[in-house]
Structure 1
Amino acid sequence: MNAFLWLFDTVVQLYIYVLIASAVLSWLVAFNVVNVRNPVVSQIGEVLYRLTEPALRPIRNILPNLGGVDLSPIVLVLLLLFVSRLLHEFIPTTSTVTIR
C-alpha cells in the first residue's frame, strides 16, 4: 500500500508544481513580460490551462469575485495537501512486527 501512497503523493506534488507554473505564467502575461503571440509561450500556456482549468473552474464558481485576484489555485493546493494528509492518516503504512 505504500507504493500507492507514494504515487499519489508524487502526482499531487507534480500537480501543485503545474498550478504554480500556471499562476506564474498568468502573472507574466498580465504584466507583459512574455508575449502570448510567441508560439512556445502560447503552447505552454495552452497546456497549463488545459491541465489546471478543469480543477480550478468549480472552485472559481464557489469563491466570490474578488476583482483581479484569483484565489482558486491557493484553495486547490490547500485541498490537495489536506487530502494527502488525510490519506496518510487513515491508510496504514508499513506495519512493524515486534518479536517478544
Structure 2
Amino acid sequence: MSVTTVSPKGGLQGPRPPALKIGMDSYKIKKPQSATQAIATRPPPVVIHLKSPEIIHTRPQDFRDIVQQLTGKPKSLAQPTTTISTAPHQSKFGRLT
C-alpha cells in the first residue's frame, strides 16, 4: 500500500483502498433455462388482413418514387394555402407589426 498526500483539489487522502475483484462464485451464475424455453415455445403472432394487400410490381430504379407517391401527402394538401406577406400590417390595437 502506498500513502498518498493531500491534493489541492481535495482528492484521495490516506492509504489507497484495495482493488475491487470479482469472486469466483460470480462466474457460476447463469440464467435459468425455463425462461428461455418459455420464449421459444411461444407461437408467432398471426396477421389478419381485413382486405388483401395491394401488390404493386415495379422496377428497382422506380421503387423510391413509388414509395414516395404511396406514402406522401396528397397533391391537394401539398400546395400551401396561405401566403406570407412581407408588408407591415396594422393590428387591431393600432400598432404596426
TM-score tier (shorter): under 0.3
Q: Which has the higher helix share?
A: 1
- By relative contact order (CA 8 Å, sep 6+), the higher-ranking structure is 1
